[in-house]
Amino acid sequence: MKTELATRDLGEDFDWSGWNAPESVVPSVVFLARQIGTDFTGRIVDVAHFGTTWPEHLDQP
């Protein structure tokens, strides 16, 4: 994730081509923030698959 701190540490001239911008994780973070304790599965999820393989039910508000 390319953040201000990562940019400061690695420099502007670093090859950022493989790094995502922070806004790329917003939909999955919002989904996870809406969950209640009984909703957690213990699975590790990959943000790249959000909306395709998880969540299983995309009809949630």
Q: pLDDT tens digit string along 1-58?
A: 888 899 999 999 999 898 888 888 888 888 888 877 776 667 676 777 777 776 665 5
- For residue 20, what is the DSSP state? P
- Alpha-carbon span 29 to 24, nearest angstrom: 10
Query: What's residue 11's pLDDT?
Result: 93
Start-to-end C-alpha separation, the chain: 27
- The count of structural domains within the chain is 1
Q: Which domain does 39 fall in, by range? A: 24-61
Residue 19 lies in a domain: no
User: What's the whole-model pTM score?
Assistant: 0.44
Residue 5 lies in a domain: no
- Greater confidence, 54 or 61? 54
Residues 2 and 21 sit within 8 Å (Cβ to Cβ)? yes
